[in-house]
Amino acid sequence: MRPQTFAVIGGGPAGLFLARLVKLRAPQASVTVYERNAADATFGFGVVFSDRTMAAFERADPQTCRRLREASAQWTDMELRHQGRCLRYGGYGFTAISRRTLLRILQEQATEVGAQLYFRHEIPLADAFHDADVVAVADGANSATRRAYAEVFGTTVDASGPKYIWFGTPARFDRVTFPFVQTRFGPFAAHAYPYEPETSTFIVETDNATWRAAGMDVSTDAAGAPGVSDIHSKELLEEIFKEHLDGHPLLVNNSKWASFQVVRNDNWSHRNMVLLGDTAHTAHFSVGSGTKMAMEDAIALAEALDTEGTTADAFRAYEAKRRPEVQRTQNWAAPSMRWWGTFARRLHMEPEQFGFHFLTRTGAISYAGLKRRHASRIDEVESWFARRSTPDVPPESGAARSAVSLPLTVDGTILANRIATVTPPDAVESSAQAGGGLVIVDWSAGGPDGSQDAWRARIERVRWNGAEPMALLRAQDADGEAFARAVGIRMIERVLPTTAAPQDGMSVVVGVGCPPVPAWTSEGEDFVQWCSEQTRAGAIGVHLRLPREELTEQGWGRALAYADLVRESSRKIVLLDAPDGWALAAPDSHRGESWGTRIHTALLSGRLDIVVARPLARL
């Protein structure tokens, strides 16, 4: 038997939309919504929906969707403002609406079909509705009911996200705009987008050090009471973003700094209770909207309750449908949130590369997709990279050369390309003939053998073939290093454990095994710090070494995150192992991500400098 009585805890977008959709499908059902705030109380300003989400609203409820469109602003472009440049990227589709207007429309739409709405009516626990067939828990990320049943739901809340504060402004923004500003306190960045003809949302992010240096930790404490806004931060940020606001003020509405919370639950239902919206999950606002996911939850739950035979079956069907999409969004949101939390490390990048790094921060859009959406911008960054690599060579017309094929200067030595090969001593010359720019002579097992005269001749032939040699030695092999220098090898790679103290030495690359854990763990942070200490002591770069079983798409992606962090923190070259099987050719902009395209993207975005082939790449 289908459920007949519904209690909805939370009168936000998820709860209100669910109430309407349930009544549309089951007019005889009793649906009651309980909201702790007043009907016209809301915090925040505008919310954003993608074209895909609006299409889902249209299918579920054409009348409500029409009202939302009529009250919304639409745009297709986004713009990055960095170092005095404005980089515009088209090919998107967004709709934004005032949160206050959204709630008013959803309240009216729910009431129209017979749902009962009670405001200023707080329900501390869902247990109060043990007789209801369904209790929809939609009271937000800080849900009291979910906290009370945290063990049952398997709730985790990670509040380590970057600092942000939410404003509105009468300043005109015609598209979503991301200005980045350096100040005497440190860097700030904003997300600005229109949602009404005369009003835009303006969200500011920064890191903890900058937040404290600007005195915003003190003003945050002073504005701790509900409904109180941080006026010190408002006035200071008006001055910081004055150029981008065209002198307009920032508008407040319970505006205060917070750290973004990522909410996850292993189970979305228990007995007659079911979670939806921010109560069930959150994802950083840089990849979309919690409101978007909440209303999509409402659509899926209403459909499952209408089509499944029992409430338990409906809850299972709802979760089975929504969880993969939510996980996909959270998987995209996690690297995006980290990007925004660490954007200061990349502000030294020139605008072309900074913009490309931004576009590729989540991996949600392939290189081929970026070429389709932003052909001129991708051409621009590829041309910039080629000019930077070969400043004295006129640019070529036609298809872009792969970034890996372009020269790189390392410690005063020009490499013909960005491919390194690790080779045994008896295959040095054949490796050089294969076309790699750097031949790493593997003396790590027993040190050099043979006469110095013979090796001088080999090294000369390696260079005659257009490659540069580097000696790979185990730690503390002073004799091997002296031998390498004597035969004309200028660069040395020392393979070190992460327990090793910082090493000094001329033209030394530190080789180290890449941890098998994500870069954003405490172990990963310690590893990046160790690499930075090695470069501060004099190392010219770091070679992140991977065991053969880690040379997979997943393993390489994890290692690339380390490469990015090490490069950002040290500003020195980073070498990264990669599998065989990719070709030195123009990146593929028409099909899926090949290894060649993946490497091209990583080099172009500045996440690494040299790819190390194990074994030799097929050139």
Mean pLDDT for the chain overall: 92
- Map tokens 């895909």 to a residue: 52
* pLDDT on residue 614: 62
Residues 560 and 495 in one domain: yes
| CATH classification of the domain holding 230 | 3.30.9.20
Residues 125 and 246 in one domain: no
Work out whether the CA dihedral 66, 72, 76, 78 comes out positive or negative: negative
pLDDT tens string 178-201: 999 999 999 999 999 999 989 999
* pLDDT on residue 3: 77
Residues 250 and 288 in one domain: no
pLDDT greater than 90 at residue 347 = yes
Rounded Cα distance, 277 and 14, in Å: 6
Residues 61 and 177 in one domain: no
pLDDT greater than 70 at residue 75 = yes
What average pLDDT does this structure show over 323-337? 94
Non-local CB neighbours of 98 within 8 Å, separated by 6+ positions = 45, 46, 71, 195, 196, 199
Is-contact 165 255, C-beta < 8 A? yes
256 SS3 class:
coil
Residues 210 and 329 in one domain: no
pLDDT greater than 60 at residue 586 = no
Burial of 288 (0-12, 13-18, 19+ CB in 10 A): buried
Rounded Cα distance, 475 and 496, in Å: 6
Is-contact 425 446, C-beta < 8 A? no
* pLDDT on residue 618: 40
Decide if 384 is inside a domain: no
Decide if 85 is inside a domain: no
* pLDDT on residue 393: 67
Is-contact 49 102, C-beta < 8 A? no
Q: How many CB atoms lie within 10 A of CB 581?
A: 12
* pLDDT on residue 391: 73
Decide if 340 is inside a domain: no
pLDDT greater than 60 at residue 468 = yes
Q: What is the DSSP string of 566-601?
A: HHHHH-SEEEEEE-S--BSS---SSSS--HHHHHHH
pLDDT tens string 414-461: 999 999 999 999 999 998 998 899 999 999 988 888 899 999 999 999
Rounded Cα distance, 315 and 238, in Å: 47
pLDDT tens string 561-579: 999 999 999 999 999 999 8
Residues 488 and 577 in one domain: yes
The pTM assigned to this predicted structure is 0.92
Rounded Cα distance, 527 and 542, in Å: 12
pLDDT tens string 534-562: 999 999 999 999 998 888 889 999 999 99
Residues 36 and 117 in one domain: yes
Residues 272 and 325 in one domain: yes
Residues 178 and 111 in one domain: no
Q: b/e for 334-346, b at 16 or more Cβ within 10 A?
A: bbbbbbbbbbbbb
Q: Please compute Rg for the chain using Cα positions.
A: 28
How far does the chain reach from its first CA to its final CA, in angstroms? 66
Decide if 582 is inside a domain: yes
- Out of 333, 357, 378, pick the residue that ends a domain: 333
Is-contact 8 134, C-beta < 8 A? no
**What is the percent of the chain with per-residue pLDDT over 70, rounded to a whole number?**
95
pLDDT greater than 70 at residue 59 = yes
Non-local CB neighbours of 482 within 8 Å, separated by 6+ positions = none
For residue 400, what pLDDT band results from cuts at 50, 70 and 90?
A: low
pLDDT greater than 80 at residue 127 = no
542 SS3 class:
strand
Residue ranges making up the domain that contains 560: 390-613
Q: How many domains does the chain have?
A: 3
Q: Is the peptide bond before 516 cis (omega within 30 degrees of 0)?
A: no
Q: Could you tell me where the beta strands, DSSP code E, fall in 320-461?
A: 408-410, 413-415, 419-423, 438-442
Residues 143 and 169 in one domain: no
* pLDDT on residue 581: 62
For residue 583, what pLDDT band results from cuts at 50, 70 and 90?
A: low
* pLDDT on residue 219: 96
Decide if 565 is inside a domain: yes
Residues 42 and 108 in one domain: yes
- Out of 318, 333, 348, pick the residue that ends a domain: 333
What average pLDDT does this structure show over 97-122? 95
What average pLDDT does this structure show over 111-136? 89
- Out of 244, 259, 274, pick the residue that ends a domain: 259
Residue 34 to residues 19, 106, 117, 132, 136: CA-CA distances in angstroms?
A: 11, 14, 6, 14, 10
| CATH classification of the domain holding 461 | 3.20.20.70
Decide if 364 is inside a domain: no
Decide if 595 is inside a domain: yes
Is-contact 418 610, C-beta < 8 A? yes
For residue 617, what pLDDT band results from cuts at 50, 70 and 90?
A: very low
What average pLDDT does this structure show over 582-609? 78
Work out whether the CA dihedral 362, 366, 367, 372 comes out positive or negative: negative
CA 373 to centroid of chain Cα atoms: 19
Residues 482 and 417 in one domain: yes
Q: If we measure between CA atoms, which residue out of 69, 80, 75 comes closest to residue 92?
A: 75
Q: b/e for 57-85, b at 16 or more Cβ within 10 A?
A: beebbeebbebbeebbbebeebbbbbeee
pLDDT tens string 274-299: 999 999 999 999 987 799 999 999 99
Decide if 489 is inside a domain: yes
What average pLDDT does this structure show over 371-382? 92
| CATH classification of the domain holding 18 | 3.50.50.60
pLDDT tens string 361-374: 998 888 988 998 89
Rounded Cα distance, 233 and 255, in Å: 9
| CA max distance for the chain | 95
